[in-house]
């Protein structure tokens, strides 16, 4: 992927359409335009104007209608904006029509998010995933991206596959997509081997999830001393970071910081990041980090919960962790798996560790088994599916102390000599 440096801050007008026929996740609102402005700032641009239009249905040709497009053109001339960024998804023909009507470069929300991802991806895996998502986004839009492809010098929306690459025929681009998919399949196989090794070592995995900029990286740093950058901007962390964390004298976990979620997250981006997001499916516990000060908190919680439902393993416990509680004056929700903390001041972090351990032990039994040597295969089963705390070979058999789930506990009842929980 080519990554071109931008020498000037690009000025842009944000445009959104609120149509009666749109589902809530498709429409634009003042709040979603605020978020789009933050995304633009994260990409290195500057918002110099915004337009929110209400219509019954989008115009099939120009999305906002020719009259509104001319108004936007006049606003761009007045503010010196060279770019329009739409909060809604645009078809290839709408992209081309809007560029012809306004004389400006036109991008949609997905293209802006992909641009930020292209800037932030640091690891080889991250860059592969971003490149795949960009090609999957661009392939059906090649015929509609006039000005976006012809710009010189780079800038927002141009990071990624270079101009000459995108002007090659679709067959070559499809071949590149297939190569990227094969490389990422190898990444997933490597991750599977690593997961198998972790399972054999009986180390539970806890994944931090949440809306972008909720404070996941700050929390990871506070708990583990990881020292990863944690800036106040959207999608500051893209590549997954994993560190060991001791919850108590008897329990150690692997704590992972994952890419942040956002409303209207492009499906091709979710698909491309399967190698990373797959970790959620195999996590033993999720900690949903929520910005307690976020005015759109409930809407953002709903976005994350929907994605957790699609990506996480069935029945995985989820802790709702309200971060930045030192700045929140209102009463926060209470619940069995709900906690308020401040990653910045450290308030509530010891209680969070205790809650993590408690959640991991729900439906778990700490037990001692005496396995006959003839049943040594059950020891391998315990290593694969449980947390083995102690193992001793005695004259009577293999004495094993382990934390296991209800199903495995039932299978090994015949060898049980002591149990807690």
In words, the CATH class of domain 11-166 is: alpha beta
Query: How high is the pLDDT of residue 201?
Result: 54
Give, as one character, the DSSP assignment of residue 95.
Answer: H
Summarised one tens digit per residue, pLDDT across range 118-143 is 887 777 777 888 888 888 887 777 65
Summarised one tens digit per residue, pLDDT across range 137-196 is 877 776 545 555 444 445 666 555 555 555 556 778 888 888 988 888 887 787 777 666
Q: Which residue has the higher pLDDT, 306 or 84?
A: 84
Largest Cα–Cα separation, the chain: 89
CA dist list (Å): 43 to 10, 39, 179, 194, 400 = 10, 6, 28, 34, 54
Q: Domain map of the chain by residue range?
A: 11-166, 203-360, 364-420
Q: Which two tokens stand for residue 170?
A: 């679709």
Domains 11-166 and 364-420 share a fold: no
Summarised one tens digit per residue, pLDDT across range 198-235 is 555 567 889 999 998 888 989 999 999 877 766 666 66
Q: Which CATH architecture has domain 203-360?
A: 3-Layer(aba) Sandwich (3.40)
In words, the CATH class of domain 364-420 is: alpha beta
Q: Which residue has the higher pLDDT, 4 or 117?
A: 117
DSSP string, 55-94: ESS-BTTTBS-HHHHHHHHHHHHHHT--EEEESS---HHH
What gap in Å lies between CA 33 and CA 91, rounded to an integer? 20
A 10 A CB-CB count for 186 gives 11
Q: Among 70-74, 309-313, 326-330, which is the least confidently predicted range?
A: 326-330
What gap in Å lies between CA 223 and CA 375, rounded to an integer? 40
Q: Which residue has the higher pLDDT, 333 or 415?
A: 415
Across 187-280, the runs of DSSP E, i.e. the strands, are 205-210, 241-246, 252-257
Could you tell me the pLDDT band of residue 7, with boundaries at 50, 70 and 90? very low
Whole-number percent of the chain with pLDDT over 70 = 84
Query: How high is the pLDDT of residue 276?
Result: 64
What gap in Å lies between CA 55 and CA 65, rounded to an integer? 10
pLDDT value at 4 more than 90: no
pTM tops 0.85, yes or no: no
Q: First-to-last CA distance in the chain?
A: 53
């Amino acid at each position: 992927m080519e990554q071109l440096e931008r020498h000037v801050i690009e000025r842009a007008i944000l445009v959104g359409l609120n149509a009666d026929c749109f589902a809530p996740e498709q429409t634009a609102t003042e709040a979603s335009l605020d978020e789009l402005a933050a995304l633009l700032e994260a990409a290195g641009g500057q918002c110099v104007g915004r337009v929110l239009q209400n219509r019954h249905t989008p115009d099939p040709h120009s999305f906002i209608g020719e009259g509104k497009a001319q108004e936007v053109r006049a606003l761009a001339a007045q503010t010196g904006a060279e770019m329009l960024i739409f909060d809604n998804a645009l078809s290839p023909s709408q992209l081309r029509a809007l560029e012809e009507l306004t004389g400006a470069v036109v991008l949609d929300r997905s293209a802006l998010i992909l641009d930020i991802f292209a800037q932030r991806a640091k690891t080889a895996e991250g860059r592969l995933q971003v490149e795949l998502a960009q090609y999957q986004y661009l392939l059906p839009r090649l015929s509609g991206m006039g000005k976006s492809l012809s710009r010189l010098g780079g800038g927002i929306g141009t990071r990624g596959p270079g101009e000459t690459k995108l002007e090659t025929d679709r067959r070559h681009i499809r071949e590149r997509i297939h190569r990227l998919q094969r490389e990422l399949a190898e990444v997933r196989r490597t991750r599977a081997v690593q997961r198998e090794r972790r399972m054999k070592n009986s180390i539970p995995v806890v994944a931090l999830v949440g809306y972008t900029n909720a404070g996941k990286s700050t929390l990871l740093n506070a708990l583990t001393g990881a020292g990863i950058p944690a800036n106040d901007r959207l999608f500051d962390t893209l590549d997954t970071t994993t560190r060991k964390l001791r919850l108590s004298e008897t329990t150690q976990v692997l704590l992972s910081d994952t890419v942040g979620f956002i409303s209207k997250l492009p499906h091709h981006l979710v698909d491309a990041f399967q190698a990373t997001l797959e970790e959620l499916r195999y996590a033993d516990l999720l900690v949903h980090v929520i910005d307690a000060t976020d005015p759109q908190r409930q809407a953002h919680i709903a976005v994350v919960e929907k994605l957790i439902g699609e990506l996480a393993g069935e029945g995985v416990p989820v802790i709702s962790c309200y971060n930045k509680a030192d700045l929140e004056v209102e009463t926060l929700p209470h619940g069995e798996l709900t906690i308020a903390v401040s990653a910045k001041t450290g308030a509530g972090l010891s209680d969070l560790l205790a809650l993590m351990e408690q959640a991991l032990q729900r439906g778990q039994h700490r037990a001692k088994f005496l396995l006959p040597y003839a049943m040594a295969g059950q020891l391998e089963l315990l290593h694969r599916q449980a947390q083995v705390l102690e193992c001793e070979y005695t004259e009577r058999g293999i004495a094993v102390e382990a934390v296991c789930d209800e199903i495995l506990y039932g299978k090994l009842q015949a060898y049980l000599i002591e149990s807690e929980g």
